A and B are shown apart, each in its own frame.
Chain A
Amino acid sequence: MGLLSKKDAKLITDPLTDNNPITIQVLGICSALAITAELKASLVMGIAVLFVLGVGNVVISLMRNIIPSKIRIIVQLIVVASLVIIVDQVLKAYAFELSKTLSVFIGLIITNCIIMGRFEAFALGNGPWRSFLDGIGNALGYAVILIIVGFFRELLGSGSLFGFPVLGDAIEKTGVYSIGYENNGFMLMPPMALIIVGLIIWVQRSRNKDLIED
């Protein structure tokens, strides 16, 4: 990456691998369980968090020297909540269809612990540009896990990807269903997201022993 110094590039690449917000920091689990029953929702949530975390980190970083430490959490909460509400209002006025798709994610974004976690751990102590990169990196790390989980849950639970039936028609018994394959309805339940995240953590830690805690 010619644009970014090595140190800055690490801000983006680290959360994708060895410092992933979901599998290593174990943040943002709640929304990872809630919305990964289909791939499209995972993708939409990933993009929404990418936006909010990128912009929110910059705003908090710009304000970092004037925020009173006693009420910093409330200030962070207000920043993320108003950011999300303003975006929602603008979308409702000018991109109504899109806002309908996103509406259910609004509450989930505000309460996403990754956002508060990055404000608190990074943006309060670093400049706007580095905070922006950190926000983008963590949001991408979050999105990657969401998409992996969403891929398996939708494929095995509904036999489709992005709503497109890749395994054939379950009702008319075409494709793999003709030889007796059945969708696993259990994959649509939230606990299965936890199990897939657990499998990802397992794979990740067996490849990189440094990540294993005592």
Chain B
Amino acid sequence: MAVNTDKNSYTILFAIAMVVVVGSLLAFTASSLRPNIEENERMEKQQNILYAMGINGNEGTSDITFISTAEVAEAFSTKVSEQIVLEYKDGQIIQEMTREEYMEANNKQEPYLIDVKKQQTRTKEGKSRFLPLFKGATKDGDTVYVAPIRGKGLWDAIWGYIALDKNMVVKGAFFDHAGETPGLGANIKQRYFMDDFEGEHLLSESGAFKGINVAKGNNDPRNDRKEDHAVDALAGATITGDGISDMIRNDLKLYLPYFKNLKTN
């Protein structure tokens, strides 16, 4: 049966049929796979937080290795001793909530699932914003506080988790990205980049917030200078690196009142 594929009516019918078929196929795939995908993303967040705390499968100079998905739920519940949620507005922390208090007030949402992007838009709208903070212990038993950060890279979102001690010295860092260039910006997810942040100070001597710059010409490849507020940039990834500096500065600065308070107590 030969159809005249040049007729306008045929073209329109074909377009409609195609849209319906493809649309329902995609919708069906997306909705039937959603539970699995959500579960995977949930575990990934736990793995990332634990990674920043130093609870991971890294051995020697291996690639980044997360704790296995089989162990992650148990490790997360035992190693993260407290999930704190701070309510922040206009440079001040107006409320400090425990996990239970937060979940009570927010439809039973776990604090580690707080969407940092949504919270950032709340600040822009002039509303208060929730800052999650995960208290736990590293492998050596030091107390650390892990905070999520999020910002813009060259092509798409970049985000990460930074583990800090009570003086806001970095104890561990984890970065990830949605679509940075493989081999260039995507290298923020490499250990040699993340590991450089360990030991870097966020605060100046006087206690003011300075952040960490991903700096070109830092000339410190072994990262011997821990108090210069800078780590070596990646070749060919200037904008991604600037995105890292920005998100560290913008998001971690908000936690400053909490850490100041922690020190005086």
Contacts and interface: CB of A to CB of B under 8 A. Distances in A.
B94 interface: no
A200 to B, nearest CB: 19
B6 A70 contact: yes
A92 B40 contact: yes
A177 B29 CA distance: 52
Interface of B: 3, 5-6, 10-11, 14-15, 18, 22, 25-26, 29-30, 33, 36-37, 40, 44, 63, 177-184, 186, 221-222, 235-236
A185 interface: yes
B14 A67 contact: yes
A210 to B, nearest CB: 35
Q: What are the 9 tightest A-B residue pairs by CB atom distance, in nearest-first order?
A: A37-B183, A41-B182, A93-B36, A38-B183, A93-B33, A68-B11, A96-B40, A185-B235, A188-B236
Nearest to A81: B22
22 contacts: A37-B236, A44-B182, A45-B182, A65-B3, A66-B5, A67-B5, A68-B6, A68-B14, A68-B15, A69-B5, A71-B14, A74-B15, A75-B18, A86-B29, A92-B33, A93-B33, A93-B36, A93-B37, A104-B181, A104-B182, A154-B183, A171-B221
Interface residues of A, number: 40
Given A69-B6, A71-B15, A82-B22, A37 B33 contact: no
Interface string A19-40: 0000000000000001111100
B67 to A, nearest CB: 13
Contacts of B26: 82, 85-86
Contacts of A35: 181-183
A68 B5 contact: yes
B56 to A, nearest CB: 14
B162 to A, nearest CB: 20
A103 interface: yes
B5 A93 contact: no
Given A69-B6, A82-B22, A189 B36 contact: no
A206 interface: no
Contacts of A67: 5, 14
Contact of B11 (A45, A71, A92, A96): A71
Interface string A159-181: 00001000000110000000000
A154 B187 CA distance: 13
B214 to A, nearest CB: 16
Contact of A34 (B36, B37, B181): B181
A25 to B, nearest CB: 24
A119 B14 CA distance: 18
